[in-house]
Amino acid sequence: MKKVSALHNLNLEVEEGEIFGYVGPNGAGKTTTLKILTGLIYPTSGNAWILGRDIRDVAIKKDIGFLPEGPYFYDYLTAKEFLYFYGQLFGMRKREIEKKVGELLDLVELRHVKDIQLRRFSKGMLQRIGIAQALINDPKLLLLDEPMSGLDPIGRAKIKEIILQLKETGKTILFSSHILSDVEMLCDRVGILTQGRLIDVGSLDTLLGSGIKSIEIVTSHIAKDTLREIETVAEKVTLRDEKLVIVVNGEEDKDRVLGIINRNNGRLISLTPGRKTLEEYLVEKVNREVAL
């Protein structure tokens, strides 16, 4: 059998109290990393520490909360029974569990379905009860593997809101995701992994830069002759719901387009500067790495 090395010389540090996004293509090694940190699998070499303690120390598990990708829950337990069961696994006392279960059901907004069996929960509800079980032991570190995968926009918004609330309480959160717009919105820092190698890590300002990549101008009441003049300057022009969406590169082209609009009695609706997205940055980095 051919051996596969899932991670190569991974050197990663997550700072206390931050939200750290772990991104990369399928098979990059993100889930493997999280499983090593939780002790579900063991590295063939190297060391890892959580809160300054070796991950082989079983006692550290009480400070970790974990939600795997595609978790399996006991379908015939109610939400309340499910959380109570996990509280018992951590050796919590009955009164302590009851108090914590109530707090967590409120946090994930599932108190109204506390007596409903999990088999009747939607995907989004299951993700929220999954986060609740990861918090039953009041961990200092929360590990989430694709927590927003497969959710609709409302479900994603709720999970993002919960993650931000948890940061405010002092939790350290490490999560992997393919939804890079969510990573941009939530994370203090990001690590990019490909083919088992960490190829970049840093804040979004450090990785993406603070400079403007392009500027979007939305206008209306533009005549055909004016449109043709704008097209000679703009990078891209699109008609959207009777409005003209114009993308230009740089301040000089922006000023030229605005001048054309003003001279021809167009109506300016909005002007939005934009920098390179995390998705664009990741694709460039990964493609460059693969080409080497």
Residue 10 lies in a domain: no
Q: Do 139 and 171 contact (CB within 8 A), yes or no?
A: yes
Verify that 68 and 28 share a domain, yes or no: yes
Which of the listed residues 147, 182, 203 is the one where a domain comes to its end? Answer: 203
- How many domains does the chain divide into? 2
Tokens of 279: 């998705």
Residues 75 and 96 in one domain: yes
Q: Please tell me whether residues 75 and 95 are part of one structural domain.
A: yes
> Does a structural domain hold residue 266?
yes
Please state the pTM of the whole predicted model: 0.84
Tokens of 79: 């939400």
What pLDDT band is residue 292 in, cutting at 50, 70 and 90?
A: low
Quick one: pLDDT at residue 6? 84
* Domain end marker among 203, 226, 258: 203
Q: Is residue 12 part of a domain?
A: no
Question: CB of 25 within 8 A of CB of 19?
Answer: no
Domain check: are 246 and 139 in the same one?
no
Please give the Cα distance from 19 to 172 (Å, whole number).
Answer: 6
- 121 with 173, same domain: the answer is yes
**What integer pLDDT is reported at residue 203 of this predicted model?**
94
Range of the structural domain that residue 60 is part of: 19-203
pLDDT (average), residues 241-262: 91
**Mean pLDDT (whole number) for 21-40:** 94
Lowest-confidence segment of 1-15, 51-65, 143-157, 168-182 by average pLDDT: 1-15
Span 103-127, pLDDT tens digits: 999 999 999 999 999 999 999 999 9
The CATH number that applies at residue 260 is 3.30.70.980
141 and 249 in a single domain? The answer is no
Identify whether residues 90 and 37 lie together within a single domain.
yes
Residues 157 and 85 in one domain: yes
Does residue 150 lie within any of the structural domains?
Answer: yes
Burial of 276 (0-12, 13-18, 19+ CB in 10 A): middle
Do residues 260 and 196 both lie within one domain?
A: no
CB contact at 8 A, 56 and 48? no
Contact assessment for residue 24 and residue 30, using Cβ atoms and an 8 Å cutoff = yes
Q: What is the pLDDT of residue 291?
A: 66
Task: Report if residue 59 sits inside a domain.
Answer: yes
The segment with the largest mean pLDDT, out of 13-22, 66-75, 215-224, is 13-22
Q: Does some domain include residue 138?
A: yes
Task: Give yes or no: residues 128 and 108 share one domain.
Answer: yes
List, as own/partner pairs, every contact residues 188-192 make where C-beta atoms lie below 8 angstroms and the sequence separation is at least 24, other chains included.
188/15, 188/18, 188/19, 188/20, 189/15, 189/18, 189/20, 189/21, 190/20, 190/21, 190/22, 190/23, 190/278, 191/12, 191/20, 191/21, 191/22, 191/23, 192/23, 192/24, 192/282, 192/285, 192/286
Q: In CATH, what number is assigned to the domain containing residue 157?
A: 3.40.50.300
Does residue 9 fall inside a structural domain? no
* Domain final position from 183, 203, 223: 203
pLDDT at residue 211 greater than cutoff 80: no
Based on the fold, state whether residues 138 and 256 are members of the same structural domain. no
Q: Is residue 289 part of a domain?
A: no
269 in the same domain as 221: yes
